[in-house]
């Protein structure tokens, strides 16, 4: 079926709306996104419960009032992330350079200049999408793993936006040899590590709780000889833009012990959470898969009738 079919007209309207919002001045995007996000906090009951539970687990030292403040702020930043989705859709490099401040890029530029394989370790902080667009536009094109979006109109637009500055997508279920070849050419690999790994994941502590984690970071680094550079996207308050921060590359990694390597990855994410707890993606069911015999952490989802 052609994407011009009337069935897809609502989707094209949404794509056009997102694109139009992305053309607004960034402080206005911040204000609109924050307002709508805070309203969503009141309406998104199940996601609010998931976020609250994650914060109880991961920030036990905080008081209930502090955790609730973080959760409210989290929904505000989620709104900002949603409203600025279209900023990177067709944006010029000049505009992205005005909106996004790249910090410590000398930590990655030398490796790219040498043609050294690089893994850009990018955890799920809410500025991830805009940070990725800025990376490909201002630093270097990259390779990333992509999972198709069910709506073909949205899928087409998101894929085009991510590839507009030369990035390469690898289907999540494709043969990994294509990814390895691309990395060995010197194309940085965007690796998003911190989602529930299901039954195939390795149970290692995350914020002190066993979490099913995909133990692939050390394997990718070993297969390609890549250096791993933790990278974080952080929105600035009052619509001042976003920071893309490169932390120092990991030393003595991989160690050859996949459990130790996966634990080290989680500890890096935990350390950054402490510096900007309201911008981590708390509404994800990070602890959905439990070790055998352990009780569920989250209440069961309500089934739609």
pLDDT classification of 3: cutoffs 50, 70, 90: confident
Report pLDDT digits (tens) over 246-298: 999 999 999 999 999 999 999 999 999 999 999 999 999 999 999 999 999 99
DSSP-derived pairing of the beta strands 100-103 and 118-121: unpaired
pLDDT of res. 147: 81
| Distances 273 to 9, 30, 40, 124, 182 between C-alpha atoms, Å | 40, 21, 23, 10, 31
For residues 300 and 283, give the distance between their C-alpha atoms in angstroms, rounded to a whole number. 15
- Contact between 139 and 105 (Cβ < 8 Å): yes
pLDDT tens by residue, 151-166: 899 889 988 888 888 8
More confident residue, 91 or 228: 228
Answer whether 104's CB lies under 8 Å from 139's CB.
no
Using alpha carbons, select from 239, 284, 231 the residue that is nearest to residue 83. Answer: 239
The pLDDT tens digits of the residues spanning 194-212 come to 889 999 899 999 999 999 9
Q: Is-contact 52 44, C-beta < 8 A? A: no
The packing angle between helices 9-22 and 152-163, to 10°, is 30
pLDDT of residue 138: 95
Which pLDDT value is given to residue 302?
67
> For residues 161 and 250, is the Cβ–Cβ distance under 8 A?
no
In angstroms, the Cα distances linking 179 to 69, 74, 189 are 41, 33, 8
Arithmetic mean of pLDDT, 14-23:
93
Token look-up 């080290």 returns 264
Segment 66-70 mean pLDDT: 97
Q: Is 180 helix (H, G, I), strand (E, B) or coil?
A: helix
pTM above 0.75, yes or no: yes
Please give the pLDDT value at position 97.
96
Residue bearing tokens 């309500």: 302
């Amino acid at each position: 079926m052609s994407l011009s079919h009337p069935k897809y007209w609502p989707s094209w309207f949404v794509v056009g709306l997102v694109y139009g919002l992305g053309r607004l001045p960034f402080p206005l995007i911040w204000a609109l996104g924050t307002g709508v996000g805070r309203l969503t906090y009141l309406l998104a009951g199940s996601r609010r419960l998931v976020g609250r539970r994650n914060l109880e687990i991961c920030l036990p030292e905080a008081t209930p009032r502090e955790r609730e403040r973080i959760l409210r702020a989290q929904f505000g930043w989620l709104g900002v992330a949603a409203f600025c989705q279209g900023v990177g859709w067709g944006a010029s490099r000049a505009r992205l350079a005005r909106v996004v401040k790249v910090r410590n890029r000398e930590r990655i530029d030398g490796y790219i200049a040498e043609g050294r394989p690089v893994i850009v370790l990018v955890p799920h902080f809410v500025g991830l999408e805009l940070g990725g667009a800025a990376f490909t536009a201002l630093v270097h094109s990259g390779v990333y793993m992509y999972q198709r979006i069910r709506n073909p109109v949205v899928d087409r637009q998101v894929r085009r936006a991510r590839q507009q500055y030369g990035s390469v997508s690898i289907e999540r279920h494709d043969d990994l040899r294509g990814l390895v070849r691309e990395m060995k050419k010197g194309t940085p690999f965007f690796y998003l590590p911190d989602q529930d790994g299901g039954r195939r994941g390795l149970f290692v502590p995350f914020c002190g709780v066993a979490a099913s984690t995909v133990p692939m970071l050390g394997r990718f680094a070993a297969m390609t000889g890549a250096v791993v550079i933790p990278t974080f996207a952080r929105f600035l308050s009052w619509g001042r833009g976003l920071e893309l921060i490169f932390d120092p590359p990991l030393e003595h990694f991989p160690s050859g012990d996949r459990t130790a390597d996966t634990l080290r990855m989680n500890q890096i994410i935990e350390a950054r959470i402490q510096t900007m707890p309201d911008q981590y993606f708390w509404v994800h069911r990070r602890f959905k898969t439990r070790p055998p015999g352990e009780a569920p952490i989250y209440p069961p989802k309500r089934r739609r009738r």
